[in-house]
Amino acid sequence: MPARLSPDAPEVLHDYYRILQGGITAYEEGARMRELLTDHLDFSGSLAGHLTDATEGFLHGVAGFIGTVRDIEIIQDVHDDSGSAVLYSATMPGGPVTFAEFFTFENDRINTLHLHYNGPEYLDKGGR
């Protein structure tokens, strides 16, 4: 089942989650995802740590996620003028993993992304 965000979500997030669900063949080395991100994405994640100029590294890392995720189910999403938060469950080869993503935007592109999840669990369930 495709990920479904609330109608209040910015269009850039609808595009982002369509790409996450699209599979590695459709990912095409991240060309479409790159268009959704600022040139200097501020990213933090359980495995990567905090990177202030992470656009290229994020594109490489998210390819591993896209290559292994089988389904994404949005649990809750919240949006206001300061940003968005999305809680979802991703079905990995070894079972579900829960993720929380916090976004800010600049010129309709993702400027910051703080990703929270259990890194060891993600790896144990087949994430890469």
pLDDT digits (tens, 9 = 90+) for 41-84: 999 999 999 999 999 999 999 999 999 999 999 999 999 999 99
- Give the whole-angstrom CA distance, residue 67 versus residue 84: 25
Smallest Cα–Cα separation from 53: which of 65, 38, 66, 33? 38
**Does 1 have pLDDT greater than 80?**
no
- Give the whole-angstrom CA distance, residue 90 versus residue 84: 18
What pLDDT was estimated at residue 28?
A: 85
